[in-house]
Chains A and B, each alone.
Chain A
Amino acid sequence: MAWAKKILRVNLSKGTCASEPLNMEWAQQYLGQRGLATKYLVAETDPKVDPLSPDNKLIMTTGPLTGTMASTGGRYSVVTKGPLTGAIACSNSGGYFGAELKMAGWDMIIFEGKSPKPVYLWLENDKAELRDASHLWGTTTWHTEETIKAAHQDPQIRIASIGRAGENGVLYACVVNDLHRAAGRSGVGAVMGSKNLKAVAVRGTVGVGNVRDFKAFLQATTAAKKVLADNAVTGQGLPKFGTQVLMNVINEVGALPTRNANDVQFEGARKISAEAMHEKRPTDGKANLITNAACFGCTIACGRVSQVDKTHWSVVNNPKYWGATGGLEYENAWSLGAANGVDDLEALTVANMICNEDGMDPITFGATVGAVMEMYQMGVLKKEQIGIESPFGSAQALLEMAHMTAEGRGFGKELALGSARLTKKYGHPELSMTVKGQEFPAYDPRGIQGMGLTYATSNRGACHLRSYTVASEILGVPVKTDPLATDGKPDLVKAFQDATAAFDSSGTCIFTTFAWTLGDLAPQLDAACEGGWTLERLAEVGERIWNMERQYNLAAGLTAKDDDLPKRLKTEPAKTGPAKGMVSGIDKMIPEYYKVRGWTTEGVPTKDTMKRLGL
């Protein structure tokens, strides 16, 4: 089997690192990564724990295919209780860190307690030790990576770290690996910071062994790669245009949340789209996009590598932002751009860099700026409070707010709270575009009804990556459904949620699902691991994971009331586009969804459902 069968348990309070066997019984029920780590968290912590207390645990976890030759097999997740939401947090990242961890011989690291002083974990295959990180505290993720690599004189070390946002308790701080990749959502970086854990640095040369049937694995992974290569989306669309190709699409269908969801179409969408990233700038004759890039083992390569115009006002005096860097993905271009009415592509690229550099989730950060700009327009917040004029559309305000939040100064300390807490503090909670305290991403539920149900029921707070029904409702994968209809969406959302939970537990990337189904994943897992992995078993594991997460949230104190959308989406109709005049039909979909899930009308899994899933 492709599990290393080994966990590293790091007690930060005591300063100890100990190896223990992976619970293989649980691996059969929860597969790996998201599912398996959540099982450990559920078994070892009180769901009511304060997320930023030493009693919370932080788990970095790989899947059975992580580090193998399966395409996109480089994923890892960070699982903990999220400080932004008070719910289960599971943030998935690509890059190279996850594969390196697995190649060092570990499936998972469980961090517990809190270190008395800043430390980083140094892992070299079997050898694990905590090292002093006082000299790294107060510095960025970029500086941290560079310094650790230099200290160990090894450029091939892979590092996951927090920036100043994680240290300062920004509630949506992320864990950044390989400079530009992030376990982005729900504030997992703030939990890491609360433990005084600055970074995890890994060098793994053991490799990934234990493949159950190597010949079958070679055949299965080769066949699956061919499916990706032959598919027009994963073979051509994603590598050439990246996720950013959606900017014009979602604008055209009238589902691009604009200016804090006051509008559903953005007049500046074209200027911040994939097409614009490909164009030569009039200023320097170069395009924003330099090339695409791939995470470990990925044959899709959707990543963006960008370089900003050195003469742009935002960087002209700041050469550290002049180099090639992780470019805009659709979500970031939306949250930093359309959500605030900002249409300056270069400024957005810089704002995105700051989020990577200091480890902040651009979705929550950008959407929080949108709420602040709306409060500024209303006169609730003044220039003197924020520190800068902040009307919708101001790229200057966006960048200043990014800097002050990353550095923990001035109004940045308030932005660090996220929009739910911030708008409440100033008496306007209705302006927070959140579910369970987490900002919703780049699809407006008035124009794509399934995404409303996706956000409302996502176990980690509003998120598109828990059931990406956009694939079906807009893009026609696997079948086209009507984005404006609510009928059939509960079944669609459940199917997407369960399949996604299985993919997220395997070590592969969810973007494969534009071409792969669970039927493509199953033979790869089955050749790699013991257990007779079939499509049906994977769907069942996905459903089990979903219900386990739900149970965790209920035990943490969340209720059916938390499965709801911001009032604006239910009462203020879309002003333009195909959804003009429509609001979200969430209230109609929720009861049906609970039924489809086998939950009570209060959203609690019934005894029969729990029994059927072996929970």
Chain B
Amino acid sequence: MRVTFKLYAMLADHLPDEARRTNALDLEVPPGRTVGQVIDEFNLPPKLVHLVLVNGNYIQPGDRAGRALAEGDVLAIWPPIAGG
């Protein structure tokens, strides 16, 4: 199944070059792939995995390992950031 994977701010360094200008990557993953597994696959430094959203909804740290993605989901991740 296909999902969209987005990494922002410092985490964008973990995207392949061609995806940096959009911060987004189309991923083909097996059904049942979890948020936690995608995070592990991309070797994202745990300290930088702060704000994790699936389709814009926040996923609590404790729920990430068990949260299965569905076809068409958008997984977006930010390091600790803030604004005003």
* A interface with B by C-beta (< 8 Å): 231-234, 236-238, 240-246, 248-249, 252-254, 270, 274-275, 279, 329-331, 464-465, 468, 471, 474-477, 480, 482-483, 510-511, 514, 577-578
Contact = CB atoms under 8 A, between A and B. Distances in A.
B56 A232 contact: no
Given A245-B8, A279-B21, A475 B82 contact: yes
Contacts of A233: 80-82
A243 B9 CA distance: 12
A246 B22 contact: no
Contacts of A254: 56
Interface string B44-60: 00010011010111101
Contacts, number: 93
Given A243-B82, A252-B74, A331-B84, 19 more contacts: A231-B80, A232-B47, A232-B79, A232-B80, A233-B80, A236-B10, A237-B80, A238-B83, A240-B9, A248-B8, A249-B51, A274-B9, A329-B84, A464-B84, A475-B51, A475-B82, A480-B58, A480-B60, A578-B57
Interface of B: 6, 8-10, 12, 21-23, 47, 50-51, 53, 55-58, 60, 74, 76, 78-84
Contact of A249 (B8, B22, B74): B8
Contacts of B80: 231-233, 236-237
B26 to A, nearest CB: 15
A232 B80 CA distance: 6
B21 to A, nearest CB: 7
A578 B10 contact: no
A245 B10 CA distance: 10
A237 B50 CA distance: 12
Contacts of B22: 270
A243 B84 contact: yes
Which label, helix, strand, loop or mixed, suits the secondary structure of the A interface? helix
Nearest to B56: A578
B58 A330 contact: no
A578 B60 CA distance: 16
A477 B82 contact: yes
Contacts of A510: 84
Nearest to A477: B82
The 6 closest A-B pairs by CB, nearest first: A243-B83, A246-B83, A232-B80, A237-B81, A578-B56, A514-B82
B58 A511 contact: no
A236 B57 CA distance: 25
A480 B84 CA distance: 17
B76 A252 contact: yes
B55 A242 contact: no
B53 A238 contact: no
Nearest to A231: B80
Contacts of B51: 249, 474-476
A362 to B, nearest CB: 14
A252 B83 contact: no
B8 A275 contact: yes
Contacts of A471: 82
B12 A511 contact: no
A233 B57 CA distance: 21
Contacts of B8: 245, 248-249, 275
B83 A330 contact: yes
Nearest to A513: B82
A468 B21 CA distance: 30
8 contacts: A232-B47, A242-B83, A249-B51, A253-B53, A275-B23, A474-B51, A476-B50, A480-B58
A81 to B, nearest CB: 25
